[in-house]
Amino acid sequence: MNNGKVSRRRFLRTVGTAAAMAALGGPAIEALAAPYERKLVRFPEKGELILLTSRPPQLETPLPLFKDLVTPNENVFVRWHLSDIPTSVDLAAWRLQVGGNTEKELQLSMDDLKKFEKVTFTAVIQCAGNGRSFFAPRVPGGQWKNGAMANVTWSGARLRDVLNAAGVKAGSVDVSFNGLDKGPLPTVPDLIKSLVMDKALEEDIIIAYEMNGKSLTLLNGFPARLIVPGWYATYWVKSLSDISVNTKAFEGFWMNPAYRIPDTECGCIPPGSKPGRTVPINRMSTRSLIIAPGEGEKLARNKPANIMGVAFSGGYGIKDVVVSTDGGRTWARADLGKDLGKYSWIQFTLPWKPAKAGKYTLMAKATNGIGDSQPFEGLWNPAGYLWNKVEPLSVTVN
């Protein structure tokens, strides 16, 4: 399907079908932990993904689809907060407004945006709430398992170049980003995110108009979205329409109280407790996940089984991944696959030939380029963010 050309009727029909099958998500804020059915559904430009809610769409990627080093566009998860999302965008009319405390107001068309130097890199996109359903005690919000992530090759213009073209004036403290989606009522806060000035001017932040060499899919933010590699996707504002340079720190619901973590070393607090000081969530914690074999799979004795998975960090690359086939008693260093850069995930493999029948517990543990690794126990915070514990996986050998 041609990107951005999904007709509104077709979109609504598809979404409508899904809606009929599933309990509707809350009207806006992800405050309700609905009893999700996790059915496979197909939305426009998407393959079969797991439905969490249909309004707004929250679609999770089934783990076997992470066998690809780079995730195909149709397999990339979908997450919107507000029910009124763009169902079509007329590129001829679309403009990206850049203004606020700048020398000039820019109204960039897609052609204008494409005149800036084009930058391409592969980066993991991951929802801050990926793995939230595993929190104990449970926490409200989208009950994701581990499929709210993907590894995508993004292309676009540097945010810095665009800001410089507008001319950032002295006294600017941060930059805020708004997209075309809206809440169903004026009382529902619009999703606006901000980055402090120094962060916004970092070289690797881009306004992406391509994913894997094609236009963005509508559900993943057509025609352009922010990419803040290494940071959780809450900042990766989709269907961008406005960028504003601010002289007063931006304060909005989605910066405070939403998307904050306890201001502690681990971003965690004792399970069930209340945080004191909080800070906006930012860099992703280090993670690894075994993709094959899958949970509960049955393997044959004395036959080679490749243990394969993915590992990534918040922009520091992965130094090593160790794998255990005996529930964590002994560990072996896995082979690492092709390196697509510090923001990409890397595939790891460990050849394995189980000689004895029985039940095995497999585990993987990654260490990033600056020595951060993964805990064996889930770290807890009240919003269900930063999930990165070593996940045990059971297989049976016959």
Cβ closest to Mo ion, residue 108 vs residue 255: 255
**Site for ligand MTE contains 210 (CB under 6 A):** no
Q: How far is CA 4 from CA 86, 120, 232, in A?
A: 10, 21, 25
Compute, in degrees rounded to 10, the torsion defined by CA atoms 53, 282, 235, 42: -30
In angstroms, give the least distance from the CB of 220 to ligand MTE. 4
Question: Which positions from 337 through 366 interact with Mo ion, judged by CB under 5 A?
Answer: none
Q: Are 230 and 315 in contact (CB under 8 A)?
A: yes
Query: Which of Mo ion, ligand MTE, none lies near 310, with the C-beta cut-off 5 to 8 A by kind?
Result: none
Query: Which of Mo ion, ligand MTE, none lies near 176, with the C-beta cut-off 5 to 8 A by kind?
Result: none
Q: Which of 36, 43, 66, 80 binds ligand MTE (CB under 6 A)?
A: 80
- DSSP secondary structure letter of residue 26: P
In angstroms, give the least distance from the CB of 234 to ligand MTE. 4
Compute, in degrees rounded to 10, the torsion defined by CA atoms 135, 136, 140, 146: 20
In angstroms, give the least distance from the CB of 194 to ligand MTE. 13
**Torsions phi, psi for 165 (to 5 deg):** -65, -35
Which of 214, 227, 220, 212 has the alpha carbon at shortest distance from 43? 220
Residues whose CB falls within 8 Å of the CB of residue 8, separated by 6 or more in sequence, listed in order: 87, 88
User: How far apart (Å, rounded) are the C-alpha atoms in residues 322 and 328?
Assistant: 10
Binding mask 104-143 for Mo ion (x = CB under 5 A): -----------------------xx---------------
User: How far apart (Å, rounded) are the C-alpha atoms in residues 209 and 96?
Assistant: 12
Helix (H, G, I), strand (E, B) or coil at 361: strand
- Tokens representing 161? 């170049």
Q: How far is CA 397 from CA 201, 304, 361, in A?
A: 53, 11, 11
Q: Are 110 and 91 in contact (CB under 8 A)?
A: yes
Q: Cα 219 vs. chain centroid, distance in angstroms?
A: 13
Query: Which of Mo ion, ligand MTE, none lies near 221, with the C-beta cut-off 5 to 8 A by kind?
Result: ligand MTE
Counting residues that bind Mo ion (by CB under 5 A) gives: 3
User: How far apart (Å, rounded) are the C-alpha atoms in residues 246 and 172?
Assistant: 5
User: How far apart (Å, rounded) are the C-alpha atoms in residues 208 and 119?
Assistant: 9
Q: Which stretch binds ligand MTE (CB under 6 A): 8-16, 46-54, 164-172, 231-239?
A: 231-239
In angstroms, give the least distance from the CB of 180 to Mo ion. 17
Cβ closest to ligand MTE, residue 208 vs residue 269: 208
Query: Which of Mo ion, ligand MTE, none lies near 236, with the C-beta cut-off 5 to 8 A by kind?
Result: ligand MTE
Q: Which of 52, 65, 175, 233 binds ligand MTE (CB under 6 A)?
A: 233
Binding mask 45-74 for Mo ion (x = CB under 5 A): ------------------------------
Q: Which stretch binds Mo ion (CB under 5 A): 187-195, 205-213, 231-239, 313-321?
A: 231-239
Binding mask 91-130 for ligand MTE (x = CB under 6 A): ----------------------------------x-x---
- DSSP secondary structure letter of residue 258: S
Q: Which of 77, 154, 209, 385 binds ligand MTE (CB under 6 A)?
A: 77
Cβ closest to ligand MTE, residue 81 vs residue 145: 81
**Site for ligand MTE contains 179 (CB under 6 A):** yes
In angstroms, give the least distance from the CB of 249 to ligand MTE. 20
Question: Which positions from 238 through 297 interact with ligand MTE, judged by CB under 6 A?
Answer: 238-239
Place of tokens 């990766």: 236
User: How far apart (Å, rounded) are the C-alpha atoms in residues 19 and 6?
Assistant: 18
Cβ closest to ligand MTE, residue 178 vs residue 313: 178
Q: Using only the alpha carbons of the chain, give its radius of gyration.
A: 21
**Site for Mo ion contains 386 (CB under 5 A):** no
Counting residues that bind ligand MTE (by CB under 6 A) gives: 20
**Amino acid identity for residue 13 in this structure:** R
Name the site residues for ligand MTE (rule: CB under 6 A): 76-82, 125, 127, 179, 181, 191, 220-221, 233-234, 236-239
